[in-house]
């Protein structure tokens, strides 16, 4: 049985027309995400829109380590 994660790895693309992209982890929600981030090609903060979900991130379970 597959485990479901709470977060998604997504690809964001700049709406300034520069084709610059960011890969970010965001919480899983209904619709596509938008974020204001720095675009190095225009040297300003611009709006980025999610264009693709890359994969679902598994929740990390605490490791059982022996403490001495």
2 in a structural domain: no
Domain with 24, as residue range(s), is 7-57
State the average pLDDT for the chain: 86
| In 1-68, beta strands by DSSP E | 7-14, 21-27, 34-39, 44-57
| Residue in 12, 8, 9 with CA at minimum distance from that of residue 38 | 12
State how far the Cα of 57 lies from the Cα of 54, in Å rounded to an integer.
10
| Distance (Å) of CA 14 to CA 2, 23, 24, 27 | 33, 12, 13, 20
What is the per-residue pLDDT across 10-30, written as a single tens digit (0 to 9) for each? 999 999 999 999 999 988 887
Assigned domain for 66 exists: no
Tell me the whole-structure pTM to 2 decimals.
Answer: 0.74
41 located within any domain:
yes
């Amino acid at each position: 049985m597959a485990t479901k994660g709470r977060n998604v790895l997504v690809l964001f693309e700049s709406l300034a027309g520069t084709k610059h992209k960011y890969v970010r982890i965001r919480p899983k929600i209904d619709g596509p995400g938008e974020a204001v981030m720095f675009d190095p090609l225009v040297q300003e903060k611009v709006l980025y829109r999610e264009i693709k979900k890359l994969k679902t991130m598994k929740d990390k379970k605490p490791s059982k380590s022996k403490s001495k």
